[in-house]
A and B are shown apart, each in its own frame.
Chain A
Amino acid sequence: MKRVFSPISNASELKAGDEVLLCGEILTARDAAHKRICELEAENMPVSLEGQTIFYVGPSMKDGKITSAGPTTSMRMDKYTPTVLERGAVALIGKGDRKAEVYDALKKFKGVYFVAVGGAGAIYADCIKKHEIVAYEDLGSEAIFRLEVEDMPLVVAIDGEGSSIFR
Chain B
Amino acid sequence: MRSIFYDDIVLAVTNMCEACCRLTPDAEEALSKACERETSKLCRFALSTLVKNAAVAKEKCVPVCQDTGMAVFFLELGQDVRIEGGYLEDAINEGVRRGYKKFGCRMSVLDPLTRENTFDNTPAIIHTRITCGDKLKISFLPKGFGSENMSRLFMLNPSDGVEGVKASVIEAVKSAGSKPCPPIIVGVGIGGTSETAMLLAKKQLLRDIGSKNPNETLCKLELELKDEINALRIGAQGFGGDVTALDVFVDTFKTHIAALPVAVNIQCNAERKAVVIL
A: residues with CB less than 8 A from B are: 17, 19, 32, 57-63, 65, 67-70, 72-73, 75, 95-97, 115, 117-123, 125-126, 139-141, 153, 155, 165-166
In chain B, positions 246-271 with a C-beta closer than 8 Å to chain A are: 268-270
Alpha-carbon distance between A75 and B108 when the two chains are bound, in angstroms: 19
Q: Contacts A60-B105, A115-B237 hold; do A121 and B117 have CB atoms under 8 A apart?
A: no
Binary CB contact string for chain B from 99 to 124 against chain A (1 if under 8 A, 0 otherwise) = 00101111110000001010100000
**B50 in the interface, Cβ–Cβ < 8 Å?**
yes
Residue of B nearest to A72 (CB): B146
B53 within 8 A of A: yes
Interface residues of B (CB under 8 A from A): 42, 45-46, 49-50, 52-54, 56-57, 60, 62-68, 101, 103-108, 115, 117, 119, 146, 149, 177-179, 181, 237-240, 268-270
CB distance from B151 to the nearest CB of A (A): 14
Chain B, Cβ-Cβ closest to A69: B66
Contact A126 B67 (CB under 8 A): no
Q: Which residues of B contact A97 (CB under 8 A)?
A: 177-178, 238
Q: A68-B64, A96-B179 are in contact. List 20 more A-B contacts (CB 8 A).
A: A57-B66, A58-B66, A60-B106, A62-B101, A63-B104, A68-B104, A68-B106, A72-B146, A73-B149, A95-B146, A96-B237, A118-B268, A119-B53, A119-B64, A120-B49, A120-B50, A121-B57, A122-B63, A123-B49, A166-B238
What are 21 of the A-B contact pairs (CB < 8 Å)? A19-B45, A32-B115, A58-B108, A59-B106, A60-B62, A60-B66, A61-B104, A68-B63, A68-B104, A72-B146, A75-B179, A95-B146, A97-B238, A118-B268, A119-B64, A119-B270, A121-B64, A122-B60, A123-B52, A166-B178, A166-B238
